[in-house]
Amino acid sequence: MKIVAALALASALALAQTPTAEVDFGNLLQAWDGFGVNYVETPQTRDYKSNPQEYGGLSTLPESERQRLFELIWGDDGLRPGVLKMFLDPWHQSAAGGPFDHETTTRWMRLFAREGLKRTRSRGGDLQIITTLYGPPAYMTKQKFIRGRDLDPTHEADLANYLVAWARFLRDKEGLPVRYISLHNEGEDFNRWPVDGKDAGASSHDYNLFWPSLQVTDMIKRLRSALDKAGLRDIGVSPGECTNWDRFVFWGHATAIARDPAALRALGLITSHGFTGGRDYWYSTHNPKGVELLRLGRPQLHAWTTSMTWGKMDVGFIDDIRGQIYSVKVNAVIPWAAVQTAGWVGGDPNPGTALRVDTARGSFQIEPGYWLYKQVSRAGQPGMRVAAVRSGDDAVRLIAFASAGSRHPDAFVIVNLAAEERPARISVAGVKAQRFAAWRTTQTEQYQSLGGFAPEGGILTCSLPPRSVTTFFAQSDGR
């Protein structure tokens, strides 16, 4: 019995000494372009003159509240995003060859972008902007009304010019660093219109155009040529944003591009909304097959998740981000609208957000999603590299970003998905720092500073509260 007890004790001690998790900053994975935000202004209205729409709600805030909101997103103590998504709605041109009006329906989105760029550059950073076609003007569709289902092939050149004109306006007039143009917003989803396409579908849907896979490949090539002719060779083309990564591969878009050498050569970025949760997307996964397929021919192509759900604004949101990074192997993550009102027709199917505007009171509140997103967005800054991680506990998940020669410190995020506290022993390799500074978000803590932690023998020991997210930043000067 004494021998059995001794063996049991030895086994328990050995288990106690086994690291719960491992982070290796010397094992570098994909380049990291940054975390992003998306301000949504005009997503649904079918008649802008009689029913102007400003979904983000900046227009309803007094100037003092706007400035406070901008600081929370872009400020030095804010989220510090490095990527911004801007929509191109269908109201910028009413007739073929007619004048463009890029300002009326985009005033607050452009202000959000300008303020973001100013604050980002003031702290020595920069932004990469992707602009996404929400839907074309009515005249470009076969149906000739807003949110017509099918592109009129006689207006393919007009659509390319529409995209080029918007990108040039953002660059030349607004001074915004547009880096990519994305062809569509969930355009694979033909179910959003009646079978015959006779009407615009449910008023709760945002702007779309149906994009069959061959239409995608043709427009990738056409837009690439139009951008080159306009002298915008440094703006890349993305294939549009399917609802999730499953559809990107299984509904034919990735395969069509891979089979078209000219389209694959013209492609500048791989994109999908990447939804894996929320009311309508429960069946989708972190499916890497489409990204892997295109990287067979173009290994250096970057991929961005451009509109993922905030979920229930709990630790599952961060675990979803982890799946985007380590399963799909994306280079950037942008959640759906970071600033929201209650103005979505029919109720937003993805109501989570960072900041929620009360249009009646002219104020906003900080949502739980903000504090959770801050845990990762400040850790993963542009120019870093994703680093390898491993966990021996299925309830403990990790995300790590290596400095990789950037000015940003090595950082890792550890998530406890369990409903009970977890003690953690984290093996930290490939880092010179002797100390880490930590911040934590729980159901009762909001990005709370925990002070410093010093690994002993390469092992960092801490306690993980239930349903918590903790971020550790390497302190290069030993503080």
- pTM of the entire structure? 0.95
Residue 436: closest CA among 426, 451, 425 = 451
Dump pLDDT digits (tens) for 280-320: 544 689 999 999 999 999 999 999 999 999 999 999 999 99
Looking at residue 479, what is its pLDDT? Answer: 39
Neighbours of 436 (CB within 10 A): 25
| Residue 310 near residue 341, CB atoms below 8 Å | no
Mean pLDDT of 275-284: 63
Could you please report the per-residue DSSP string of 5-18? Answer: HHHHHHHHHHHHHS
Looking at residue 20, what is its pLDDT? Answer: 87
Q: What would you report as the CA-atom Rg of the chain, rounded to the nearest whole angstrom?
A: 23
Dump pLDDT digits (tens) for 316-360: 999 999 999 999 999 999 999 999 999 999 999 889 999 999 999
Looking at residue 292, what is its pLDDT? Answer: 98
- Give me the CATH code for the 34-377 domain, please: 3.20.20.80
Rounded Cα distance between 270 and 212, Å, is 17
Neighbours of 231 (CB within 10 A): 9
Higher pLDDT among residues 60 and 349, named by residue: 60
Phi then psi for residue 216, to 5 deg, are -65, -50
pLDDT at 186 over 70: yes
Grouping H, G, I as helix, E, B as strand and the rest as coil, residue 297 is helix
Which residues is 386 bridged to in the sheet?
A: 401
- Give me the CATH code for the 18-28+385-475 domain, please: 2.60.40.1180
Dump pLDDT digits (tens) for 377-388: 999 999 999 999
- What average pLDDT does the structure give for the chain? 94
Residue 385's contacts (CB-CB under 8 Å, 6 or more residues apart) are: 28, 29, 30, 31, 32, 401, 402, 404
Rounded Cα distance between 205 and 413, Å, is 35
Band the pLDDT of 420: cuts 50, 70, 90: very high
Neighbours of 388 (CB within 10 A): 18
Looking at residue 283, what is its pLDDT? Answer: 61
Band the pLDDT of 5: cuts 50, 70, 90: very low
**CA neighbours within 13 Å on the CB side: how many for 246?**
10
**Torsion sign over Cα 449, 21, 475, 409:** negative
Residue 194's contacts (CB-CB under 8 Å, 6 or more residues apart) are: 201
| Residue 435 near residue 479, CB atoms below 8 Å | yes
CA distances from 81 to 188, 243, 424 (A): 28, 23, 29
pLDDT at 142 over 60: yes
Residue 189: closest CA among 138, 247, 142 = 247
CA distances from 61 to 66, 71, 210 (A): 6, 14, 36
pLDDT at 277 over 90: no
Residue 126: closest CA among 134, 115, 118 = 118
Residue 34: closest CA among 124, 129, 139 = 129
Q: Where are the strands (E) in 101-177, listed by range?
A: 128-133
Q: Which residue has the tokens 């021919």?
A: 297
Looking at residue 15, what is its pLDDT? Answer: 41
Kind and range of the H or E element at 437?
Answer: strand 435-441
Q: Where are the domains of the chain?
A: 18-28+385-475, 34-377
